[in-house]
Amino acid sequence: MPIEPTEQQQPAAHGPVEVRRSDRRRRTVSAYREGDRTIVLIPARMSKAEEQRWVTAMLDRLAAKEARRTAPGGDAALTERAERLSERYFEGRAKPGSVRWVTNQNTRWGSCTPAEGTIRLSHRLRVMPEYVVDYVLCHELAHLLVPGHGPDFWRLLESYPRTERARGYLEGVAAATRLPEDTDDEEV
């Protein structure tokens, strides 16, 4: 028996909650929004007390995730910023489907999936100057129009006036992360 819905929890400020128990699920709990409803997936063997603790924890986790996305500087603000940059530097031709901050990107500043229109920026950019974030956004927006890093791509990216400065900044940050840590030793 794969997934069996249990009775619905009482509606709260976030809407009704439906708990689905699964015999196949052993140790993991997950939750997602489906319209105005929250679905929480739990192992079938979980007690009612554990279920209630997990439902509360998952609702808190979803609320925090949604708050991050809509907060100033969150995903919604990042999407608006990308749209403004597209208008200004690409005549509005670069139209991303979604633009998000991500925490699982540690070797790249940004990435783009042109087929899906998705752009993801590393959370490490949040502390960098705005012109650097704008450059990375423009770089990824340009990929929506020109795949790869050929001459047409770089020609298109020249429309952003601080490209070279931002690239230099990012190269400096990357180089600094490869430096050995300071030591108190006087020997060099």
Question: What percentage of residues in the chain have a pLDDT greater than 70?
Answer: 83
- The CA distance from 20 to 12, in Å, is 18
Is 47 in the same domain as 134? no
Q: pLDDT tens, 83-115?
A: 999 999 999 999 999 999 988 888 899 999 999
Across the strands, what pairs with 17?
38
Q: Check residue 150 and give its pLDDT.
A: 96
Is 65 in the same domain as 87? no
Residue 185 in domain: no
| DSSP code, position 182 | P
- The CA distance from 41 to 28, in Å, is 8
Residue 24 CA from chain centroid, whole number: 29
Residue 187 in domain: no
Is 94 in the same domain as 170? yes
Under-50 pLDDT residues of the chain: 1-5, 7-12, 71, 183-188
Is 64 in the same domain as 133? no
Q: Check residue 5 and give its pLDDT.
A: 47
Q: pLDDT tens, 175-184?
A: 988 877 554 4
Which tokens go with 176?
């600094």
Q: How many domains does the chain have?
A: 2
Q: Check residue 29 and give its pLDDT.
A: 92
